[in-house]
């Protein structure tokens, strides 16, 4: 793989653990190639649930905020990234029908420009060549993921405009913006088929049965980054988020070698490019000039 030292990549995520569940293997690949990779985490995950039965203890619930920060530190070390907190409070996952209002002061209710200015300040400080974030659905419809999408897209546009947020630093135009498409249907079908082929129980049969095909959505994928050799790094980063990841749960129901054989890429949608490139791509930095 080519040496990409001098290039900078910025992932914008909603919660600690998102950086490990979405794009972590391609992150590890780019770190290995010398890219300076940064992660902005919009919230502290303060309202997240404890999803690992081994960690479901009163003392964990009582200190979930600091525990999730420590987990993020561990994942950061594993991935070799620089991590930044945007400083907003987790909105939680509203439950009920109709859904209750979001809690006052949470990220999902913050005035858009307040969050955009904070992210613009970081973009102008980091000067990334490439940014990634979630699609307009948020990847899934968590209010913080939707807000993360809105803030990221607005900051991508504003960071290069010297008339927007002039107190937030010198303007910087990011070359490319991508959306994550980690959990796409073709990938899930491929993993399911490979499990069945090997005589293993697939964790995806029920999900696929109720998953309405959206070929036009899957066609939005433009960029597939080969990173199978870094799936193990991804898994270690996931396990660092011990409150969120059950090592005996669905995340690890598909053996590593099955994932590597069935779907060796992480997938993205190129949304905006200010440099010449052609799709399909195999590299987030396709077309990016390294001398700025």
Binding-site residue ranges for Zn(2+): 15, 18, 145
Place of tokens 């036009």: 216
Cβ-based neighbour number of residue 107 at 10 Å: 25
List the Cα angle 214/220/221 in 5-degree steps.
110
Q: What are the binding residues?
A: 15, 18, 145
231 contacts 25 by C-beta, under 8 angstroms: yes
Give the up-direction half-sphere exposure of residue 236: CA atoms within 13 A in the CB hemisphere: 14
d(CA 106, CA 14): 12
Across-strand partners of 224?
267
Q: Are 94 and 143 in contact (CB under 8 A)?
A: yes
Q: Are 14 and 149 in contact (CB under 8 A)?
A: no
Is residue 244 within 8 Å of 27, Cβ to Cβ? no
Q: In residues, how long is the chain?
A: 292
Strands 265-273, 176-180: pairing kind:
antiparallel
Q: Where do we find the tokens 């209010």?
A: 143
Beta partners for residue 272, in sequence order: 177
| Alpha helix ranges (H) inside the chain | 18-21, 24-32, 58-62, 64-79, 112-126, 143-159, 185-197, 205-210, 215-218, 231-240, 256-262
């Amino acid at each position: 793989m080519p040496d990409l030292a001098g290039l900078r990549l910025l992932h914008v995520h909603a919660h600690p653990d998102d950086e490990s569940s979405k794009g972590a293997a391609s992150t590890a690949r780019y770190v290995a190639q010398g890219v300076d990779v940064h992660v902005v985490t919009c919230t502290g995950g303060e309202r997240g649930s404890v999803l690992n039965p081994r960690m479901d203890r009163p003392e964990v619930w009582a200190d979930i905020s600091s525990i999730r920060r420590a987990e993020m530190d561990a994942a950061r070390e594993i991935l070799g990234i620089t991590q930044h907190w945007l400083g907003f409070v987790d909105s939680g996952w509203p439950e009920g029908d109709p859904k209750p209002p979001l809690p006052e002061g949470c990220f999902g209710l913050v005035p858009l420009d307040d969050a955009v200015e904070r992210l613009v300040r970081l973009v102008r400080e980091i000067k990334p060549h490439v940014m990634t974030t979630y699609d307009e659905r948020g990847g899934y419809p968590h209010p913080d993921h939707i807000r993360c999408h809105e803030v990221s897209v607005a900051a991508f546009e504003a960071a290069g405009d010297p008339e927007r947020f002039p107190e937030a630093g010198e303007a910087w135009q990011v070359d490319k913006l991508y959306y994550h498409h980690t959990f796409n249907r073709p990938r899930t079908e491929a993993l399911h088929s490979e499990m069945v082929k090997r005589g293993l129980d697939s964790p995806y049969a029920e999900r696929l049965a109720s998953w309405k095909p959206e070929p036009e959505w899957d066609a939005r994928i433009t960029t597939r980054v080969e990173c199978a050799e870094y799936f193990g790094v991804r898994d270690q980063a996931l396990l660092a988020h011990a409150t969120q990841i059950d090592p005996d749960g669905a995340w690890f129901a598909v053996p590593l070698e099955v994932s590597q054989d069935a779907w060796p890429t992480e997938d993205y949608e190129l949304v905006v490019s200010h440099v010449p490139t052609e799709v399909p791509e195999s590299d987030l930095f396709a077309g990016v000039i390294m001398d700025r």
